[in-house]
A and B are shown apart, each in its own frame.
Chain A
């Protein structure tokens, strides 16, 4: 019988003990797996979201995030100039504001309001109806459509709010052209979009050619790096960021907390697993010292009994590790649901994202745990004095 088969038989001799060991490793392993998914999940999810918008450059007036800094002056002209660059496929100017839909209630329905102008596709996907045309038309997201029972063709009156200052702008009528999905919508967020010109009209018509951000799609043949260089040369007063740079900045921002907590918890869970498996194996070995000494006396080599202990550790950790994957998947879904309730998080962003690299690291860490946890019990069996142990067993 080989070492693995022998270790298996040793474990099933004590089914309760072995099962509890495997279950314990499964619980710890599930937490470890989730922490690995969390460590890069948010960044991977944000990168995916950026790429899905179809634009790979963002041009802003300052280093502030779009919507939180000063507006870009002459934005439409700038977007057209950018679109003509050989490394650029298309460019659109976007301006963000807020609006209240007058719905008969005392306060109205508060929404995010954006205006777009340029040569590229609009940064939303039409679900029903059609895209905005040249008139006073808007597209609305699903939450707004459901909440106010609106459909393509419905008429709405909205009051825009375009600066920090308290404004009393006149209400303006719009026709709903379609229902759209916006990539950065929050689960309960309400979003409207129209042309930059109509947004400027709703904002009082004083800032008709200003935008928060110009989104640029680079030519596939040129790539974003060349487009960044060209745009920066064309408009040296503006800030240009590629998706990779934006993700990098995001990674260094406030959400590094999740990466840090995942590192801390990974370290703690691994230490916990090593300590407890070591204790389980050590106690188990101590109870079987006489048996192991007898096997040595019968001709089992030192390396063979060492291999038996190592295989026992591998079986406990391996069994627990296999169980940890489905448990970890379910746990990750639950924890993701909790974290996605943080206000302002887009509905399509996830904190726990599966990546093959996370699975590889998980397996590697579990394998290291199995080996490290077995070191001390291995030392006991390797140095076991056969005759003295047998005598103690008989005399004791």
Chain B
């Protein structure tokens, strides 16, 4: 793993470095797509990198490829100018003159397990055997970091406010829609249908409308998912996925929307049905 500070410094020097053509014996590097585009550096070009801001003790490298950086929400909006070196080349380039070879350190070691399901057990094992080393499964590490937890809570709070506003509007709409059928309900009461029977009918109607509405909402969110992702990926020049409608999210939405819709219908209907049948049917 290359320390980020060094990568940034190297990238900054690479920006200023002149591109040259040289023999294939030079050590190879990869550069990010953004660096390639902004500085017009292509595969096969030779660049000079230095750990010093004045370009002292620069070394030559050949660009062997251009890569798309792994999307990182923490670097959203930043133009990622990165260079990836082989670790021995990086250590040679960044080692202090007085430092003996082999005494350098790395910030982290990425481990690919034969069975990814063993990640938790492996992490516990490493921490037990090597005190002072922190080992974390990669998936857990991403979700347990502060900013993502905070953003998740923020989005949840926004979602709650939106649901409250929707519920209030929904209730207002159902009251009006039920009220619009006041005369029809009054006639049903006058011809002898019990309140319970009418309420069941209105409940089923509400269920049908809420289900269709939820499904329409899901289709709308699936369509907007693509549009939102494409817009923000274009806006930030990143491959990051901003919106993802997962089956779990869809299920939660339906589980909230359908009961809310049905409840609003039943509450509004009950208020109407408590009135006298003759009064309801009166024009």
Contact = CB atoms under 8 A, between A and B. Distances in A.
A302 interface: no
A254 B165 contact: no
B147 A334 contact: no
A286 B75 CA distance: 53
A234 interface: no
A254 B73 CA distance: 8
A31 B73 CA distance: 24
A283 B180 contact: yes
A24 B170 CA distance: 9
A256 B162 CA distance: 23
Contacts of A61: 53
A335 B157 contact: yes
A337 to B, nearest CB: 10
A254 B165 CA distance: 30
Interface string B84-126: 0000000000000000000001000000000000000000000
A283 B54 CA distance: 72
A342 B8 contact: no
A16 B169 contact: no
A254 B76 contact: yes
Interface string A47-85: 000000000000001111000111000000000000000
Interface stretch (B22-30, B171-179, B193-201, B244-252): B171-179
A20 B179 CA distance: 15
A28 to B, nearest CB: 5
Contacts of A335: 154, 157-158
A178 to B, nearest CB: 31
B192 interface: no
A253 B78 contact: yes
Given A284-B176, A287-B180, A343 B168 contact: no
Interface string A271-287: 01000100110011011
Given A20-B171, A283-B176, A31 B77 contact: no
Nearest to B224: A268
Contacts of B147: 342-343
B74 A254 contact: yes
B40 interface: no
A94 to B, nearest CB: 18
A287 B179 contact: yes
Contacts of B235: 260
A106 B212 CA distance: 62
A64 B92 CA distance: 23
A253 B53 contact: no
Contacts of B165: 24, 27-28, 31, 269, 272
B254 interface: no
B200 to A, nearest CB: 24
B161 A342 contact: no
Interface in A123-149: none
B58 to A, nearest CB: 15
Given A68-B5, A254-B74, A257-B77, A63 B12 contact: yes
A164 B76 contact: no
Given A265-B158, A343-B147, A165 B105 contact: yes
A122 to B, nearest CB: 27
A17 interface: yes
A3 B91 CA distance: 80
Contacts of B169: 20-21, 24, 276, 280
Question: Chain A at the B interface: mostly helix, strand, loop or mixed?
Answer: helix
Interface residues of A, number: 47
Contact of A164 (B5, B154, B162, B166): B5
A66 to B, nearest CB: 13
B228 interface: yes
Given A61-B53, A287-B180, A31 B175 contact: no
A166 interface: yes
Contacts of A279: 173
A331 B176 contact: no
Nearest to B107: A164
Contacts of B172: 17, 20-21, 24, 280
Contacts of B151: 342
B281 to A, nearest CB: 13
Nearest to A64: B8
Contacts of A21: 169, 172
A334 B160 CA distance: 13
Interface centre among B3, B166, B172 (most CB of A within 10 A): B172
Nearest to A29: B165
Given A17-B172, A280-B176, A260 B232 contact: yes
Contacts of B54: 237
B153 interface: yes
Interface string B123-152: 000000000000000000000001100110
B164 interface: yes
A116 B161 CA distance: 47
A341 interface: yes
Contact of B76 (A16, A24, A28, A256): A256
Interface string A216-253: 00000000000000000000010000000000000011
B168 A23 contact: yes
A282 B166 CA distance: 18
Interface of A: 16-17, 20-21, 23-24, 27-28, 30-31, 61-64, 68-70, 164-166, 237, 252-257, 260, 264-265, 269, 272, 276, 279-280, 283-284, 286-287, 331, 334-335, 338-339, 341-343
The 10 closest A-B pairs by CB, nearest first: A27-B165, A20-B172, A343-B146, A24-B169, A24-B168, A283-B176, A276-B169, A256-B77, A342-B150, A23-B168
9 contacts: A17-B176, A20-B169, A20-B172, A254-B75, A269-B165, A276-B169, A283-B177, A331-B161, A335-B157
Given A20-B175, A31-B165, A342-B151, 7 more contacts: A17-B176, A69-B9, A255-B77, A257-B77, A276-B173, A283-B177, A284-B176
